[in-house]
Amino acid sequence: MQAKVNVRRFNPDEEAPKPYNQEYQVEVEENFTVLDTLIKVREEIDGSLALRCSCRASICGSCAIRVNGHAVLACKTRVSEHLSEDDQVSIEPAGNLPVIKDLVVDLNPFWDKIRAVEPYMQPSLPEPEAEYLAPNDVMLHLVDVMGCIMCGACVSDCTVLEVDKNFLGPAALAKAYRFVADTRDVEDDKRLRMYNAYGGMWDCTRCGECVTACPKGVAPMERIMAMREKAIEAHTPTGPYDGAAYGYRHSLVFEDLVSHSGRLNETILLVKTVGIFNLPKLIAMIPIAMNAAFRRKVPPLFHPTIPGVGQVRRIAARINASKREAAK
């Protein structure tokens, strides 16, 4: 079938370069991947089309691009599944990174963030003669995270990076988790403190884009959540970033409220999260609270108990008791 491949291009050799669209008509087979298609364009139609690619087998991580607005690995994406009714597909460079040329983006900010999480083993010393012992289930658990091929698809579509380039981002934080979860690396406390800082694990907005974008099942967001759980459990100090402190409290207060009353009371949650003695923050909320109160949509501080609240309380108590047992 004939596909209309619309590519967002950029030629830095121009006088005053600006992004522009170019459409290529190319014959594609049923089993063609987006990469096969772009390589065909490059080899037979327009040799100036620049894109990174190498292995064709979703292991090198070179070919992350946006197809119809969402990040994918080109060599893993069947083009026929993404053609519109009139056989059109739109190709753009990965998002959240500066464009060098056509589909080639500047990955230096990406590598900088990987570097920032101290992405290397910090085991207990001295080193043993033979191997460090490690249970196989720990190693197997890490295979998925270690399966990250550094393609940048997650970073491309991250909604936080879109508004704040200081966020470490899903790839770096997933890499961070890889060390926190490796029993041989003994710097968990230091690491969790590091990742509690501004731009770290608490700045993830839990939107799930990175989980969807990742071609290797790394699920960065889940790893970030797992690190949050670890940090809370380990009572890792939150450090200077108040976002982390709010994050901890938000999680704990949420659990507390739901365990106790079965429902979430946004007013109490908000107040307890920022802290009842946090006058500056509370005062800043007054205008909105008043607006809401005026429209009678502020949940009351005490609201009626739900039917069956006893069930909820007992269930929560039971679960927390067995959690404490397991921790011993």
Partner 1 sequence: MKFAFFPGCVSRGGAPELYQSTIAVAEKIGIELEEIEGWSCTGAGALQESNPLLGDTLNARNFALAQRMGLPIMTICSTCQGVMAQAKVKLEDDAYRAEINEILATEGLEYNGGIEVKHMLWVMVEDIGLEKLRTLAVKSLDGIFLAPFYGCYIVRPSAALEYDEHPQRREALELVIEALGATPVDNDGKTRCCGFPILTINEKNSLAMVAKHTGEAQDLGADAMVTPCPLCHLNLDGFQSKAAKQMGKQINVPILHLPQVIGAALGMDGPTLGLNKHIISTFDIAMKMGVRI
Partner 2 sequence: MYSHDVLVLGAGLAGMRAALEAAKSGANVAMLSKVYPVRSHSNAAQGGINAALTDRGDDWADHAYDTVKGSDFLGDQDAIEVMCSEAGQELINLEHMGVIFNRDDEGRLGTRAFGGQRRARTFFVADITGQAILHVMFEQILKYNVRVYDEWYATNLIMDGRRCGGIVAMEMRTGDIQAIQAKATILATGGLGRVFEPSTNALICSGDGMALAYRAGAPLMDMEMVQYHPTTLKGSGVLLTEGARGEGAYLINNKGERFMEKYAPNMMELASRDVVSRAETLEINEGNDIDGCVLLDCRHLGTAKIMERLSYIHEVSLDLVGVDITKDPVPIRPGVHYQMGGIKTDIDGRCWDPSGAWKGVEGLFAAGETACVSVHGGNRLGANSLLDTVIFGRRSAIGAMDYASQNRHLDFSENDWVNGEKTKLQELLNNNPSGDLVAKLRMDMAVAMDKGLGVYRTEDGMQEALQAVQGMRERFKKVVVQDKGKVFNTNLIFALELGCMLDCAEAIAIGGIERKESRGAHSRTDYDTRDDENWMKHILLRKGDGGEVIKDYLPIVVTQWQPEERKY
Contacting positions for partner 2 (CB under 8 A): 11-13, 31, 33, 42-44, 46-48, 50-62, 76, 100-101, 104, 107, 111, 114-115, 119-121, 123, 127, 129-136, 139-140, 142-143, 146-150, 182, 184-185
Beta bridge partners of 25: 4
How many angstroms separate the CA atoms of 238 and 244, rounded? 6
List, in order, residues 6 or more apart from 8 with CB less than 8 Å away: 19, 20, 21, 90, 91, 92, 93
Choice between 122 and 159, CB closer to partner 1 = 159
Is residue 60 at the binding interface for partner 1, with CB under 8 A as the rule? no
Q: Which residues contact 286 (CB under 8 A, 6 or more apart)?
A: none
Task: From 132, 76, 117, 85, select the one nearest 224 (Cα to Cα).
Answer: 117
Placement of tokens 């991250």 in the chain: 158
Total residue count of the chain as it appears in this document: 328
DSSP secondary structure string, 301-323? Answer: SS-PPPTTHHHHHHHHHHHHHHH
Secondary structure in 3-state letters for 106-169:
CCHHHHHHHHHCCCCCCECCCCCCCCCCCCHHHHHHHHHHHCCCCCCHHHHHCHHHHHCCCCCC
**25 forms part of the interface with partner 1 (CB under 8 A):** no
Q: Which CB sits closer to partner 1, 135 or 307?
A: 307
Site string for partner 1, 97-136 (x = CB under 8 A): ----------------------------------------
Residue placing its CB nearer to partner 2 in the complex, 48 or 84: 48
Residue 119 binds what, of partner 2, partner 1, none (CB under 5 to 8 Å, by partner type)?
partner 2
Whichever of 41 and 253 has its CB closer to partner 1, that residue is 253
Distance of closest approach, residue 322 Cβ to partner 1, in angstroms: 9
- Told to check if 324 binds partner 1 by CB under 8 A, we report no
State the binding partner of 189 from partner 2, partner 1, none, CB within 5 to 8 A by kind.
none
Looking at the DSSP bridge assignments, the partners of residue 21 are 8
Does residue 293 interact with partner 1 by CB under 8 A?
no
Shortest gap between Cβ of 43 and partner 2 (angstroms)?
A: 3
| 201 DSSP 8-state letter | G
Q: Which residues bind partner 1 (CB under 8 A)?
A: 69, 159-160, 162-164, 167, 202-209, 211-212, 225, 228-229, 232, 243-244, 246-247, 250-252, 254-255, 258-259, 262-267, 270, 273-274, 288, 291-292, 295-299, 306-309, 311-312, 314-316, 318-320, 323
